[in-house]
Amino acid sequence: MMNHERILPALTASLAVLSLAACGGETEEPAAEIADSDCPPGVSVAEGWLAMPAVAGNPAAAYFTISNETEDAVTIRTAEMIGSESAMLHETAEWSMEEDMQELFTQRVEAGESLEFEPGGKHVMIMGMSEGLEAGGESEVTLTFVGGDKCSFPVTLYPAGTDPREEEEEA
């Protein structure tokens, strides 16, 4: 028997053992804990909230204020939310004298400035929300910046048509 004829069966057996060991070691991931806010130094997010969809299965929208107290602009590249299938940056704008929703592929936040994501303007469109997410609950949105930094923050879930900022004004 040639040398490589002995090595191949031994190598195949070793790979099989390693594969079984890797499969047997899987454990369930613990439920994600919602952070107060976890952002790069000088970047912060406040007032995170989400408007639930009026019709189950429709998209929801997340709103917040992001502040950049650094000396350089930061650019948001993507968004995601715990308990959803996908999320994307969006903006409501006027096109041909009609309101239109457009995807934002990136969103720059200038140095020393704040940017508000609010109804009728910029927002994070949330698709495929889990059934367990209900008004009165909380989830977590994570923004990923160009360069790889991430910023995670809580969002409180509100029923469709509710704007918590208006409730604060009335109080």
Domains (range + CATH), the chain? 43-161 (2.60.40.1890)
Q: In which element (H, E) is residue 23 found?
A: helix 3-24
In this structure, what token pair is assigned to residue 169?
């004004």
Kindly state the DSSP code that residue 119 receives in the 8-state scheme: T
Per-residue pLDDT of 76-135, as tens digits, reads 999 999 999 999 999 998 888 888 889 999 999 999 999 999 999 999 999 999 988 999
b/e sequence 52-65, b meaning 16+ C-beta within 10 Å: bbeeeeebbbbbbe
The answer to whether residue 34 scores a pLDDT higher than 60 is no
Return d(Cα 149, Cα 77) in angstroms, integer.
10
Percent of the chain past pLDDT 70, that is, above it, reads 75
Identity of residue 134: E
According to the model, what pLDDT value does residue 36 have? 60
pTM of this structure: 0.76
In this structure, what token pair is assigned to residue 164?
């918590």
pLDDT category at 168 given cuts 50, 70, 90 is low
